[in-house]
Amino acid sequence: MPSNVTICYIRGDGVGEDIWSASHEVLEEAVRSAYGGEKRIEWIELLAGQKALDHSGSLLPDETVEAIREKKVAIKGPLTTPVGGGFRSLNVHLRQLFDLYACLRPVRYLEGLPSPLKRPEHVDFVIVRENTEDLYRGIEWEEGTDEAREVLSLLKERTGTSISADSGIGVKPISRGGTRRIAKWAIEYAIKNKRKVITVVHKGNIMKYTEGAFRKWSYEVAEEYPDAVSFDGTEGKILFNDRIADNMFMQAILRPEEYDVLLCPNLNGDYLSDACAALIGGLGVAPGANIGDDIAIFEPTHGSAPKYAGKDVINPTSFLLSGAMLLSYIGLPEAAAKVERAVESTLRSGIMTYDLARQIQGITPVACSAFGKEVKKMVAQS
């Protein structure tokens, strides 16, 4: 690892500027203090989203794409995606462009966080979400278009399936190859990180040839790891099992201690990530990473929240913890641990932004910038 660690960053839209301003000095301080000043971060700003559109006329300039390809790692703030029209999600596009097929979203309770659970300390699992297939491929046709009519006609002609003519149509592809590689990734992640259970989350009872196949192919991959994986709870091996998706939502609330790594198709993983974030205070504390074989992009799991932009109120914890994941990924685990400890110490002391403070009686919220300064102070003291 060179003494100067180069990291690409995208500030993002909406509240992206606020969380970047509150976070980057924390990450810099963590690297400096963890390695006695022998290492430091050099940032390279890249443009994407609205800022890029205003500057260059492109939502995702070629310069940004090439820089990420060259440097292999980046961290980004949230990018706005219009609902029901406009351009498709840039977040999804980046994952598909760089083949970032593994979405990693840890869900771990930190002392001091609000939670609806009686025993929130039991929440400590990781959602591994396939990131490039499923409905997120964006293969769909608007109701009333020639393409939609052609698809409806073809379905009726070839399969006898009759669908109302005023329907929009979407396609849900889940491939054997895509499933095998995410299952392999999840199993090897579990082995490396000494996790104890992998649970495939699917709706295979209804969607038998997509999500049912995801379950089937995942089990086939698990069978290739007989020394590490078991299906009956053999001591010393990772237990491999599965749950129907709707049941899994209940299980995460009632029995979180029984779950460890949740292996999900794309849509299930997205839903479950947000729902489980509610168990530990909300999306403001939920980090994320999108990882491929060569490139990784780290990001907070929340959106751009434009109505809060520039108000210095948003919670930067998700960005900070995503930054800690990045530091660990590039071989700086001591710096990553400093960030995680400092965030937890700050929250434990009752210092938190409005999204968390409003859930706890007697807590006065602090600004986004003030929270960042407090975490930086804790990093320096650790």
pLDDT tens figures, 241-291: 999 999 999 999 999 999 999 999 999 999 999 999 999 999 999 999 999
Give the distance from CA 49 to its chain's centroid: 19
pTM beyond 0.85: the answer is yes
Give the distance from CA 16 to its chain's centroid: 16
State which H helix or E strand residue 140 sits in: strand 140-141
Q: What is the model's pLDDT at position 160? A: 94
pLDDT tens sequence across 332-363: 999 999 999 999 999 999 999 999 999 999 99
Q: What is the DSSP string of 69-101?
A: HHH-EEEE------SSSSSPPHHHHHHHHTT--
* Short-list 280, 301, 283, CA closest to 344: 280
Q: What is the mean pLDDT of the chain?
A: 94
In whole angstroms, give the CA distance from residue 352 to residue 364. Answer: 8
The answer as to CATH 3.40.718.10 being correct for domain 1-102+286-382 is: yes
Classify burial at 142, counting beta carbons within 10 Å of its beta carbon; exposed 0-12, middle 13-18, buried 19 or more.
Answer: exposed
CATH of domain 115-133+174-280: 3.40.718.10
CB burial readout 359-381, b (16+ within 10 A) else e: eeeebebbbbeebbbbbbebbee
Q: DSSP letter for 365, please.
A: P
Show me where the domains of the chain are located. Answer: 1-102+286-382, 115-133+174-280, 137-172
Instruction: Please tell me which residue in 209, 246, 293, 294 is annotated as part of the active site.
Output: 246
| CB neighbourhood size of 267 (10 A) | 18
Clarify whether 260 is annotated catalytic: no
Clarify whether 270 is annotated catalytic: yes
Instruction: Please tell me which residue in 76, 172, 203, 376 is annotated as part of the active site.
Output: 203
Does residue 81 have a pLDDT over 70? no
Single-letter code of the amino acid located at 32: R
Does residue 136 have a pLDDT over 70? yes
- For residue 56 the two structure tokens come to 């260059």
Clarify whether 136 is annotated catalytic: yes
In whole angstroms, give the CA distance from residue 211 to residue 268. Answer: 10
Is the fold of 1-102+286-382 the same as that of 115-133+174-280?
yes
Instruction: Please tell me which residue in 18, 270, 312, 355 is annotated as part of the active site.
Output: 270
- For residue 134 the two structure tokens come to 């499923």
In whole angstroms, give the CA distance from residue 79 to residue 290. Answer: 15
In whole angstroms, give the CA distance from residue 284 to residue 246. Answer: 24
Sign of the four-CA dihedral 199, 202, 203, 209: negative
| Span 9-31, average pLDDT | 95
